[in-house]
């Protein structure tokens, strides 16, 4: 990303010479009339969003308010049409909405534009973790070139999947589109909000999670590698802000046994899914649902303490069935994987 430069502000001080001539008596200074005190600007208290509540989505969730097709044509010279959004799976795909963000896309000819915008209130000071992968070299993560900015109210990224787009062109387009997004947000912004993060889990160390699960399961699972690909810039940023941890636990022989993701602030998403079967976790305060059979003897589950969520897939180990491992994760989650 090419950041807007901040010009250094220099303040020059010049000596002021006072030349006194003769003995002239200075003219009397008139006392200005007293002015009325300025009316105080009313303070708008932000709405407090609870630890497990979904915050309001930027632009009311309407991508047509983020940018118009005229905006895109005026900046890029390409005629785009807004693409219909894909309905999120509440169990796995609500990460951007969890921080109040919005994902939008437009298509025109052989070009596409992907835009993510997230309110700063949902980010809690989070910094984008992989700038060099997404916003420096073109075609590194996906065909095209990305741009982003972190403004006072919004974090916005734009990815131009346009044949032949260069780093310089993406920066020019991004700067102008980002300016328009900020203006449109000012014109449509709802009341301010802040997030109560009480009870949110931290980012965990996978070795800590493995030790906690083994203590409950009587197993000897090891920490394995996790696939580093995590999706587009918006989901990547939102996962960081949601304190997401991804871990893989393997058998001593290297077979993948448990793959799990923890995320804070999502709440009990199993309540919003009709495809999940409740399971008694045996642990007070921890809900557990079976999502289904992924084949090959692997089952996936969703666990929640009401504020934080674990999504896991489990295969049988030498000592435990998939359900027994999920129950061990539930017991470990009850103590925050201590």
In tens, the pLDDT along 8-67 reads 323 332 332 322 233 344 455 455 555 556 666 667 899 999 999 999 999 999 999 999
Of the listed ranges 144-153, 184-193, 279-288, the least confidently predicted one is 184-193
**What count of other Cβ atoms lies within 10 Å of the Cβ of residue 125?**
6
Judge if 264 and 289 occupy the same domain: yes
Dist. CA 28–CA 209, nearest whole Å: 80
User: Of 145, 172, 195, which closes a domain?
Assistant: 195
321 located within any domain: yes
| pLDDT band at 226; cut points 50, 70, 90 | confident
SS3 at position 193: strand
The residue segments making up the domain with residue 212 are 206-334
Beta bridge partners of 248: 224, 259
Judge if 169 and 51 occupy the same domain: yes
85 located within any domain: yes
pLDDT digit string, tens, across residues 119-167: 999 999 999 988 998 999 999 888 999 999 999 999 999 999 999 999 9
134 located within any domain: yes
Judge if 229 and 191 occupy the same domain: no
**pLDDT, position 229:** 59
**pLDDT, position 39:** 65
DSSP secondary structure code for residue 270 in this structure: G
Judge if 189 and 210 occupy the same domain: no
Judge if 186 and 211 occupy the same domain: no
- Residue burial 70-84, b: 16+ Cβ < 10 Å; e: rest: ebbeebbebebebee
User: Of 195, 229, 254, which closes a domain?
Assistant: 195
Q: What is each CA distance from 169 to 3, 11, 161, 203, 338, in whole angstroms? A: 14, 36, 12, 37, 49
User: Of 195, 225, 254, which closes a domain?
Assistant: 195
What domain count does the chain have?
A: 2
Judge if 191 and 218 occupy the same domain: no
């Amino acid at each position: 990303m090419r950041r807007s430069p901040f010009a250094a502000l220099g303040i020059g001080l010049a000596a002021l010479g006072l030349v006194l001539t003769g003995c002239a008596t200075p003219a009397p200074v008139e006392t200005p009339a007293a002015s009325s005190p300025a009316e105080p600007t009313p303070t708008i208290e932000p709405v407090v969003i609870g630890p497990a509540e979904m915050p309001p989505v930027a632009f009311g969730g309407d991508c047509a308010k983020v940018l118009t097709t005229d905006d895109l044509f005026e900046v890029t010279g390409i005629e785009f049409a807004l693409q219909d959004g894909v309905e999120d799976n509440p169990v796995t795909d609500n990460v951007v909405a969890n921080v109040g963000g919005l994902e939008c896309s437009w298509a025109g000819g052989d070009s596409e534009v992907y835009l993510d915008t997230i309110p700063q209130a949902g980010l809690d000071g989070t910094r984008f973790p992989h700038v060099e992968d997404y916003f420096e070299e073109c075609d590194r993560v996906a065909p095209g070139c990305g741009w982003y900015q972190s403004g006072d109210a919004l974090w916005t990224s734009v990815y131009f999947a346009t044949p032949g787009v260069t780093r310089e062109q993406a920066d020019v387009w991004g700067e102008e589109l980002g300016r328009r997004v900020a203006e449109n947000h000012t014109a449509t912004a709802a009341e301010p909000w802040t997030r109560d993060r009480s009870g949110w889990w931290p980012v965990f160390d996978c070795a800590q999670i493995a030790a906690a699960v083994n203590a409950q399961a009587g197993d000897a699972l090891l920490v394995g590698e996790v696939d580093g690909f995590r999706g587009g810039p918006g989901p990547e940023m939102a996962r960081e802000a949601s304190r997401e941890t991804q871990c893989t636990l393997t058998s001593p022989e290297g077979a993948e046994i448990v793959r799990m993701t923890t995320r804070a602030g999502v709440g009990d998403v199993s309540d919003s899914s009709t495809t999940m079967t409740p399971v008694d976790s045996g642990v007070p305060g921890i809900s557990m649902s079976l999502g289904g059979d992924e084949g090959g003897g692997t089952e996936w589950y969703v666990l929640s303490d009401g504020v934080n969520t674990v999504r896991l897939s489990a295969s049988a180990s030498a000592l435990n069935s998939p359900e027994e491992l999920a129950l061990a994760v539930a017991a470990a989650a009850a103590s925050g994987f201590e």
